Chain A
Amino acid sequence: MLSIKNLKAEIEGKEILKGIDLEVKAGEVHAIMGPNGSGKSTLSSVLAGREEYEVTEGEVTFNGKNILDLAPEVRAREGLFLAFQYPVEIPGVSNINFLKTALNEIRTYNGQEPMEAKDFLALIKEKQKLVELDGKLANRSVNEGFSGGEKKRNEIFQMAILNPKLAILDETDSGLDIDALKIVANGVNQLKSKDNATIVITHYQRLLDYIVPDFVHILYQGRIVKSGGKELALELEAKGYDEIKKQFETV
């Protein structure tokens, strides 16, 4: 589904991603872990198409298409979804209107008719329940005045509505208490199918108790320095990042 080969990217002349290789197949859950500043958010931004980052080398194919040349909205319509580490507030744009516009643009791209208002409202209701998002929040401006936890739940809510093929969750767990974490994890798990895939980016192994990964990768200084099964996360938790840093630090 997603194939990343030797991906290098820089921002303001500073190389952040220094050759990433990653294969994700349908039905899989991958976790990417790593200390702060190792390039996890950069990787997700580059995949989502943020223009500030310059890809200097490598390729990324998604469903067989080279996506590096595609605009961010086209990537999204192809089925890529990024749950942001820091979702932005957009005062004046209602969550509902925003989601309806997004869903219908995706549907149009895929040759489907725009969704009937009635069906859309039913979908909203259903998915709201899934992430236990207060109905009032759905009617408010996008993320405006939301608490940290509400913003994260809103990301998963959007994901549930847009039903992507590949979801990248960038530290969706950070700042969540254990109850909120369970809700988010539960939402993700219920949306999982054999046709879609998830990349869970996290700093802590805690989330992985609830979203069980098939593969764990450790990203450090712009490279995947180690990959393994779910036990790698536990190992990392036990030893801490210092071990990794010592072992792989390049100056």
Chain B
Amino acid sequence: MNIIDQKISTTQFVSEQLNKYAEKVNFTPDTALIEALHYLEEKGIPNNKHEDYKYCNIEGILKKEFKGIDNKYTAISAASANKYKVVEDCINVFIINGKFSAELSDVSKLPKGLTITAIAGAEKSLLVKHVSQYAAANTDAFIALNTAYGGNGVAVHVEEGNSIKEAIHIINLVSAEGNVFSNVRNLVVAEKNTSLSLIETFETIDLSGKYFTNHLTEVILEEQAIMDSYRIQNECDQAYQVNTTQVHQHKNSNYTTNTYTFNGALVRNNLNVVIDGQQAEAHLNGLFIAKGQQLVDNHTLVDHQQPNCNSNELYKGIITGKATAVFNGKIYVRKDAQKTNAYQSSKNILLSDDGTINTKPQLEIYADDVKCSHGTSTGKIDEEAMFYLKSRGIGEENAKRLLMHAFAGEVVEKVKIESLKNYLEELITVNLK
């Protein structure tokens, strides 16, 4: 095992380890690679002095929890992987220990117009056109790390004019001994006049050490593309995840994303949506249950660059134990983005005295003819309702469960896939215990 040398910085240490274990799969453009290395050298992995990571001192976490990194992954059998196929009638795709597994995935006969491959194996022209064109390596350390050392996630490509009926379910599983760190890189391209549903789940199979995964997904929606997406984060309590989704929307496209965070020591989501075409719509929904010592940090950005677009955002959080949660929602409305409608709402319930929630809506509006609003509320459980339920014979635990399901309901209702909805209901129940 390699131990952090007191003389070198955390960033240097992590970079050296990643360099050692990284598969040399080349699909990022050289310019981005250079930018990434520059950024890391100059700015490094952020700590709490960095405005965007104020409550999320990742440098500190790495220094404390990842004194050594040895990337000793253990194999995952098909039998144990298949248990995570929880969504009915979908195309299951596995990312095992940070790498796409063609063997376990249902990619042999895909519907017409759909291609799913390891990202490095995607069509060259697709990679050249899109990779690193949206997630800029000189804006964030985790984009930079992923750009420099990004491993083999998947590329999902829907060709023009195709509607993919079955949902695509990307299942991320990890099994390891000791400490591991991986960068997973994905690309989703929906060409003109297409539609798709994408579910990503994140789970741990077996772990004796700790693991850090730095996911980066670039999503491109061309004209008239419709995407309905879900992210379900339910890793073990020794898992650390930074998950960046960089979305680029063209004219008339419609992007919906639902982020459900249940488990994991650290979950930091950077969800950036750039609306770069008229009459486009973005819907960002989130639900998190933060408990124990968890740190759940959702940063979202909706960047309205063009006129006549709508965005709508709803994040709900339940915080209990000693958990810390963060919601930071930025909305930019650029000078040209007249007639923008942008709404944002964050509602939270604090179930314990030791839990913390930090919310910060940030609206920067440079156009004058727009409708924008934001609201944030944090409350405790409704005692009147609790008493009413108890007065009917319902015990504390079930009463809380009913009320929390009701609170979460607003976000779960939006799930369009029935078996996924049931799975989420189950996860909510389990995670409220």
A interface with B by C-beta (< 8 Å): 48-51, 71-73, 76-77, 81-82, 84, 87-88, 90-93, 97-99, 101-103, 105-106, 109, 141-142, 158, 162
**How far is the CB of B379 from the nearest CB of chain A, in Å?**
14
* Chain A contacts for B389, CB-based, 8 A: 90, 93, 98, 102
**How far is the CB of A249 from the nearest CB of chain B, in Å?**
33
Instruction: Given contacts A88-B388, A105-B394, A105-B395, list 16 more A-B pairs with CB under 8 A.
Output: A71-B395, A73-B392, A73-B393, A73-B394, A76-B392, A76-B393, A77-B393, A81-B392, A84-B388, A88-B385, A92-B403, A92-B406, A97-B402, A98-B392, A102-B393, A105-B393
- Flag whether B378 is at the interface (Cβ < 8 A): no
* Chain A contacts for B395, CB-based, 8 A: 71, 73, 105
A130–B176 Cα distance when bound, in Å, is 61
- Flag whether B390 is at the interface (Cβ < 8 A): yes
Interface residues of B in 358-395 (CB under 8 A from A): 382, 384-385, 387-395
Residue on B nearest A86 in the bound complex, by CB = B384
Interface residues of B in 386-428 (CB under 8 A from A): 387-396, 398-399, 402-403, 405-407, 409-410
Most interface-central of B382, B394, B396, B398 (chain A CB within 10 A): B394
**How far is the CB of A100 from the nearest CB of chain B, in Å?**
10
* Chain A contacts for B403, CB-based, 8 A: 90, 92-93
Residue on A nearest B407 in the bound complex, by CB = A92
Residue on A nearest B408 in the bound complex, by CB = A92
A81–B405 Cα distance when bound, in Å, is 25
A98–B410 Cα distance when bound, in Å, is 18
Q: Are A162 and B392 in contact (CB under 8 A)?
A: yes
Q: Are A82 and B391 in contact (CB under 8 A)?
A: yes
**How far is the CB of B344 from the nearest CB of chain A, in Å?**
21
Residue on A nearest B385 in the bound complex, by CB = A90
Q: Are B406 and A72 in contact (CB under 8 A)?
A: no
Q: How many A-B residue pairs have CB under 8 A?
A: 79
* Chain A contacts for B387, CB-based, 8 A: 50-51, 72
* Chain B contacts for A77, CB-based, 8 A: 393
Residue on B nearest A109 in the bound complex, by CB = B393
* Chain B contacts for A51, CB-based, 8 A: 387
A88–B138 Cα distance when bound, in Å, is 53
A-B contact pairs, 11 of them (CB 8 A): A73-B392, A73-B393, A90-B382, A90-B389, A92-B410, A93-B405, A93-B406, A102-B389, A102-B392, A142-B388, A162-B393
**How far is the CB of A87 from the nearest CB of chain B, in Å?**
7
Q: Are A92 and B405 in contact (CB under 8 A)?
A: yes
* Chain B contacts for A158, CB-based, 8 A: 392
* Chain A contacts for B398, CB-based, 8 A: 101, 105
* Chain A contacts for B402, CB-based, 8 A: 90, 93, 97-98, 101
A71–B387 Cα distance when bound, in Å, is 10
**How far is the CB of B378 from the nearest CB of chain A, in Å?**
18
Residue on B nearest A102 in the bound complex, by CB = B392
**How far is the CB of A172 from the nearest CB of chain B, in Å?**
15
Q: Are A71 and B407 in contact (CB under 8 A)?
A: no
A43–B391 Cα distance when bound, in Å, is 15
Q: Are A73 and B406 in contact (CB under 8 A)?
A: no
A24–B345 Cα distance when bound, in Å, is 52
**How far is the CB of B393 from the nearest CB of chain A, in Å?**
4
Q: Are A106 and B393 in contact (CB under 8 A)?
A: yes
Q: Knowing A93-B403, A93-B406, say if A87 contacts B388 (CB, 8 Å).
A: yes
Q: Knowing A73-B395, A105-B398, A109-B393, say if A91 contacts B406 (CB, 8 Å).
A: yes
* Chain B contacts for A93, CB-based, 8 A: 385, 389, 402-403, 405-406
CB-based closest 3 A-B pairs:
A92-B406, A76-B393, A102-B392
A49–B406 Cα distance when bound, in Å, is 24
* Chain A contacts for B388, CB-based, 8 A: 84, 87-88, 90, 142
**How far is the CB of A129 from the nearest CB of chain B, in Å?**
21
A45–B257 Cα distance when bound, in Å, is 45
A103–B407 Cα distance when bound, in Å, is 23
Q: Knowing A72-B387, A84-B388, A105-B398, say if A90 contacts B406 (CB, 8 Å).
A: yes
A90–B391 Cα distance when bound, in Å, is 14
A102–B393 Cα distance when bound, in Å, is 5
* Chain A contacts for B385, CB-based, 8 A: 88, 90, 93
A129–B66 Cα distance when bound, in Å, is 65
* Chain B contacts for A98, CB-based, 8 A: 389, 392, 394, 402
* Chain B contacts for A141, CB-based, 8 A: 406
Q: Knowing A98-B402, A101-B402, say if A76 contacts B409 (CB, 8 Å).
A: no
Residue on A nearest B406 in the bound complex, by CB = A92
* Chain A contacts for B382, CB-based, 8 A: 88, 90
* Chain A contacts for B405, CB-based, 8 A: 92-93
**How far is the CB of A53 from the nearest CB of chain B, in Å?**
11
Q: Are B391 and A48 in contact (CB under 8 A)?
A: yes
Q: Are B393 and A71 in contact (CB under 8 A)?
A: no
A81–B394 Cα distance when bound, in Å, is 12
A73–B391 Cα distance when bound, in Å, is 5
Residue on B nearest A82 in the bound complex, by CB = B391
* Chain B contacts for A97, CB-based, 8 A: 402
Q: Knowing A90-B385, A98-B402, A105-B398, say if A72 contacts B390 (CB, 8 Å).
A: yes
A87–B409 Cα distance when bound, in Å, is 22
Q: Are B391 and A76 in contact (CB under 8 A)?
A: yes
A107–B306 Cα distance when bound, in Å, is 60
* Chain A contacts for B390, CB-based, 8 A: 49, 71-73, 76
A76–B388 Cα distance when bound, in Å, is 11
A105–B393 Cα distance when bound, in Å, is 6
Residue on A nearest B392 in the bound complex, by CB = A102
A50–B119 Cα distance when bound, in Å, is 60
**How far is the CB of B428 from the nearest CB of chain A, in Å?**
12
